[in-house]
Amino acid sequence: MELERYSYDNGIVKNFAFATLLWGIVGMVVGLIIAFQLFIPELNFSIPFLTFGRIRPLHTNAVIFAFVGNAIFMGVYYSLPRLLKAPMFSKILSNIHFWGWQLIIVAAAITLPLGITTSKEYAELEWPIDIAITLVWVVFGINMIGTIIKRRESHIYVAIWFYIATWVTVAVLHIVNSFEIPVTFLKSYSLYAGVQDALVQWWYGHNAVAFFLTTPYLGLMYYYLPKAANRPVYSYRLSILHFWTLIFLYIWAGPHHLLYSALPDWAQSLGTVFSVMLIAPSWGGMVNGLLTLRGAWDRVRQDPVLKFMVVAVTAYGMATFEGPTLSLKNVNAIAHFTDWIIAHVHVGALGWNGFLTFGILYWLVPKLWNTNLFSKKMANVHFWIGFLGIVFYALPMWFSGITQALMWKQFDDFGVLQYPNFLETVLQIVPMYIVRAFAGALYITGFIIMLYNLIKTIKQGSFIAEESAEAPALKPFKDTLRKGVIHRWLEGKPIYFTIVSLIVILIGGIVEFVPTFLIKSNIPTIASVKPYTPLELQGRDIYIREACNSCHSQLVRPFRSETERYGEYSKAGEYVYDHPFLWGSKRSGPDLHRIGGKYPNSWHYLHMENPRSTSPNSTMPPYPWLHLNDLNTTTTEAKINALRKIGVPYPDGYEKVANAELVKQADEIALDLQKNGIPAEPQKEIIALIAYLQRLGTDIKANKQLAGN
């Protein structure tokens, strides 16, 4: 048979590798800064762009989409053509993909510190960037599926299935979660409100972990681990079972992020059941990875690449056992909103994603530059420093999380909260935060050692830009739907394969969404719950801009310890005008859903200027710029119009009088402050924020007054 000659483009792999290294260090350093800010709040230097709320999303986005994202593309652009014996479909598309993705990252790095955010976790980027992400993602998809169609290998290896499932699911997740109505060029409101928004967001958030941090990395594992160990995967059958059950089950488990929330019970239970079932395919993958090394464990002792991979796969196993555990309702009651979750995600990010990436880089860079690794010893040092970094990160965060939960829930002999002041529970865990920051520094030190090692490796080698190869052309595929060859038929046709994957992942989403959306039109409205006033609305957008929800939840769960501390538990009907919802996912500070009316205006004014003036030793950063900046009221009309379009019942023509109402309410608050000896000016941003905070959770109280009357 005649052999065809072609070549693999290593240039694009190199670009993505460099981007992985660059954004990896950026994302981790930002993470280290916010780790320090949690116990030294002055580290924001009273500068808005450096404040925790704004740069925490920068850290999460940089690590997930920049570091891990580029590592995925690096891994795919190397393995995909080799598995298919064909060059990538289009070099131009490869380059558009690369530069487009980097531009999106730069746009994120600029907009997030500026406070331009949708507030939805891991989906903070505003609508123009969302559109850019969609376009670049489509380019990636065309390039990948095009390559599969033009392949010279009849079978599609399991790693590629994971790539396809990743592509199709991330596309669905991104689009569904990004439905938003633009208000201005860089501001939008989520199309969904309250409970629905929360459900969509955590369906997205959970599956972003599944299909951005897990499935593509499993694909990478199925290629690079066998390559590095020089032996085929332990069980190919298991990999198929693992693949289909994993993508089927993952999509159902999102509601476990919303246990004890105002989400319907059955949806919560569904989330729990499917989370527990997820252990099976997850561990199937882990076992398959580890057993691939059967009989090669002696090499693991010597080869840093395998060491990194073994720890990565083990961390995957740990995180996927911990995840289902956390989604049991009784465990979740303790762990939710605490640092336990932070420990959990970092076992995944530092262990699974980080270490697998390092393993691949140590294997790939010498191959691309046709040389050996500069120093194995240095790689071993990196391994141990990184490993200690993970241990010293996870341990104090587990400890801190459980301490938080115990202190939040502790009642004394008289049946009152033992630690009624939330701040006490924060100060208790400061030592843990210090250890965690130290651990982060260790991990980054390891990363820098790797950087040096790889640069030295690159310097001693010479880059192979194009790697030539040859293989016979693919014979026309004649398999029909014969017994026993369904899958061979399916995998021979990448587009059908993609569609089947899509159907599989959609089933779970539909079962979750349909009932919850059926109630959309008639969610139990509470008569006294009214849309926000224009001033409150502007204040709410400041709350979003400063990402107060990074540290403060707005969801009082139905536990006695919470109703004692915060007030009545939260009802679904209270959020019907919340575009987007602001439930938060972590309590570094107390819940704010019932903050309205709890303190006088003057308290909020002083507290936001310098939290330590009202709460000694508070770890909240100061927000002095709110007292200096004038509120931008030019957007009020557009905001009212946009919200009305998506169902908030502002009366017709209200947008014309909205600013007059806003000024009136601001004057009242400023007057109250002035009476208390504070020289407040009504046009400042802080006034709007106070208006919003004082409104929070009070509608339901008005309901009671009505009933009482």
DSSP string, 557-577: -S-HHHHHHT-SPP-GGGGTT
Q: What is the rounded CA–CA span in Å between residue 89 and residue 149? A: 9
Task: State whether residue 336 is helix, strand or coil.
Answer: coil
196 belongs to the binding site for other proteins (CB under 8 A): no
Report the residue number, 296 or 381, with the smaller CB distance to other proteins: 296
Residues forming a β-bridge with 180 = 190
Query: How many CB atoms neighbour CB 232 within 10 A?
Result: 10
DSSP structure class, residue 50: G
Task: Candidates 29, 181, 277, 427: give the one binding other proteins (CB under 8 A).
Answer: 277
Q: What's 7's DSSP letter? A: E
Q: Which of 158, 394, 592, 658 binds other proteins (CB under 8 A)?
A: 158
> Binding of other proteins at residue 150 (CB under 8 A)?
no
Report in angstroms how near the CB of residue 179 gets to other proteins at its nearest: 22
| Neighbour tally for 562: CB within 10 Å | 23
Cα atoms in the 13 Å half-sphere on the side-chain side of 476? 1
The region, left, alpha or beta by phi > 0 then psi within -120 to 50, assigned to residue 349 is alpha
Shortest separation between residue 525's beta carbon and other proteins, angstroms: 10
Q: How far is the CB of 86 from other proteins (least distance, A)?
A: 11
3-state secondary structure of 370: coil
Q: Does 92 bind other proteins (CB under 8 A)?
A: no
User: For 39-47, which contacts have Cβ atoms below 8 Å and span 24 or more sequence positions?
Assistant: 39/430, 39/433, 39/434, 39/437, 39/619, 41/611, 41/618, 41/619, 41/620, 41/621, 41/622, 42/621, 42/622, 44/621, 44/622, 46/622, 46/624, 46/625
DSSP run (H or E) holding 19: helix 10-37
Stretch of 49-57, 314-322, 331-339, 505-513 contacting other proteins, by CB under 8 A? 505-513
Round to whole Å and give the CA distance between 359 and 217: 12
The distance of closest approach from Cβ of residue 173 to other proteins in the complex, given in angstroms and rounded to an integer, is 19
Stretch near other proteins under the rule CB under 8 A, chosen from 266-274, 338-346, 441-449, 608-616: 266-274
Q: Using the rule CB under 8 A, is 83 a contact of other proteins?
A: yes
Residue with tokens 């002792």: 301
Q: Which residues pair with 468 in a beta bridge?
A: 7
Residue selected from 330, 480, 522, 709 as contacting other proteins according to rule CB under 8 A: 522
Q: In the structure encoding, which two tokens stand for residue 326, read together?
A: 């956390």
Find residue 23's DSSP bridge partners: none
Which of 510, 580, 649 is CA-nearest to residue 192?
580
| Smaller CB separation from other proteins, 147 or 178 | 147
Of 117-125, 268-276, 414-422, 618-626, the window that binds other proteins (rule: CB under 8 A) is 268-276
Contact pattern from residue 650 through residue 689 relative to other proteins, giving x for each residue in contact according to CB under 8 A and a dash for the rest: ----------------------------------------
What is the nearest approach in angstroms of other proteins to the Cβ of residue 557? Answer: 15
Question: Is position 469 an interface residue for other proteins (rule: CB under 8 A)?
Answer: yes
Q: Is 233 a residue that touches other proteins (CB under 8 A)?
A: yes
Contacting other proteins (CB under 8 A), which of 5, 237, 475, 478? 237
CB of 519 to other proteins, least distance (A): 5
Number of residues that bind other proteins (CB under 8 A): 61
| 265 counts as binding other proteins under rule CB under 8 A | yes
486 binds other proteins per the rule CB under 8 A: yes
CB 291 within 8 A of CB 338: no
How crowded is residue 553: how many other Cβ atoms within 10 Å of its Cβ? 25
Which stretches of the chain bind other proteins, using CB under 8 A? 79, 82-83, 85, 153, 155, 157-159, 195, 223, 226-227, 229-237, 240-241, 244-245, 248-249, 252, 262, 264-266, 269-270, 273-274, 277, 291-292, 294-296, 469, 484, 486-488, 504, 507-508, 511, 515, 518-519, 522-524, 571-573
